[in-house]
Amino acid sequence: MQAVPSIKNVKVKKGRIQIQQVSKASIVMRTVWISLLVFTCICPFLLNYGAIEWSTAISMTLGNLKMMFLQPAFNQITFATAMSQILITLALTFLTTVLGAVISFFLAIASAKNLGNAKVSHIIIAVNSFIRAVPTVLWVLIFAIVAGLGAVACVLGMMLHTIAYLTKAYSESIEEIGDESIEALRSAGANWWHIIRHAVIPQSSSFLVSWTFLRFETNFDIAIAMGAAAAAGGIGFELFMASNFYFDLHEVGMITYCALIIALILEFFSVRIKRRLMTKS
């Protein structure tokens, strides 16, 4: 007989009965959340603040923020340099996302449970889970050891994490396709490529484009950080040099504003594309 989960309590909210069930998964999740909350509340009291002069620290912090965000260095030479470096960052982002999306599409087809082999699907899912568990910066540093610091290590590390991310997103979008259309094509004698072309791509294209553009935005943010961590160039490297070597907070503020403007533009286009795809679907 199937075990019936125990009921913790019954609540009535807005005329609806809500039943909360207790299971091992819910107990583990609540334990983790409570532990994180407790540690977050306790850790600030365990730090040693004896060597900090709070009045000096607060005044210097406010002064630095004022120089960065209220007095940015918006001169022609600095702005032109920042925009050229942003183009390098966008090029790294575009290359990483396009290569990752193409590879992810074929891996997603192989790992989708309604299309691929079960054993192959489990292997791809397990490998992608391991890759996603490791932060992108660690993959970039690993490739930096193999290929050396620079754009190559940045692209390879970001692309590997992008493949693991998009493969999961693509496969879940493909698995949402109804089995009726796939079975109808198979019964009509369609081969594997015909199913992909006439069923998978038309019904999941909007989701694939949406996930790809979402990852493009994420890769832009990562590329800024990796420009400094892996010496890949771009706006991240300029930000690192201005803040750590030149200590020019006015230039740091200008670079931050330029990166923010590009991020807002990407978000604007992302929202427009998602709305258009939703109206078409």
pLDDT, position 114: 78
pLDDT, position 276: 77
pLDDT, position 9: 55
Q: Residue 208 — pLDDT band, cuts 50, 70, 90?
A: confident
Task: Check if the beta carbon of residue 100 is closer than 8 Å to that of residue 163.
Answer: yes
pLDDT, position 77: 62
One-letter amino acid of 234: G
One-letter amino acid of 111: S
Cα–Cα distances in Å, from 185 out to 163, 189, 192, 196? 29, 7, 10, 10
pLDDT, position 15: 56
- Please name the residues in contact with 50: beta carbons below 8 A apart, sequence gap of 6 or more: none
Question: For 168-172, 203-207, 208-212, which range has the lowest pLDDT when averaged over its residues?
Answer: 203-207
Dist CA 55 CA 215 (whole Å)? 42
pLDDT above 70 covers a percentage of the chain that reads: 89
Q: Name the one residue in this structure whose structure tokens are 């693991």.
A: 164
pLDDT, position 12: 53
Per-residue model confidence as pLDDT tens digits over 115-160: 777 888 889 999 999 999 888 888 888 888 888 878 888 899 999 9
**Residue 174 reports pLDDT greater than 90:** no
Question: For 11-20, 76-85, 199-208, which range has the lowest pLDDT when averaged over its residues?
Answer: 11-20
Q: Residue 10 — pLDDT band, cuts 50, 70, 90?
A: low
pTM: 0.76
**Residue 229 reports pLDDT greater than 70:** yes
DSSP string of the chain, one letter each residue = -PPPPEEEEEEEETTEEEEEEE-HHHHHHHHHHHHHHHHHHHHHHHS--TT--HHHHHHHHHHHHHHHHTS----HHHHHHHHHHHHHHHHHHHHHHHHHHHHHHHHHHHH-TTTS-HHHHHHHHHHHHHHHHS-HHHHHHHHHHHH-SSHHHHHHHHHHHHHHHHHHHHHHHHHTS-HHHHHHHHHTT--HHHHIIIIIHHHHHHHHHHHHHHHHHHHHHHHHHHHHHS---SHHHHHHHHHHTS--HHHHHHHHHHHHHHHHHHHHHHHHHHHHHHHH-
Q: Which residue has the higher pLDDT, 158 or 20?
A: 158
**Residue 255 reports pLDDT greater than 80:** yes
pLDDT, position 118: 81
CB-count burial class (<10 Å; 0-12, 13-18, 19+) for 180:
exposed
Q: Which residue has the higher pLDDT, 49 or 86?
A: 86
CB-count burial class (<10 Å; 0-12, 13-18, 19+) for 114:
middle
Domains belonging to the chain, first-starting first, are 6-45 (no CATH), 69-280 (1.10.3720.10)
Dist CA 69 CA 164 (whole Å)? 37
**Residue 7 reports pLDDT greater than 70:** no
Task: Check if the beta carbon of residue 124 is closer than 8 Å to that of residue 110.
Answer: yes
pLDDT, position 17: 59
**Residue 277 reports pLDDT greater than 80:** no
**Residue 1 reports pLDDT greater than 50:** no
Cα–Cα distances in Å, from 62 out to 143, 199, 233, 249? 39, 58, 30, 12
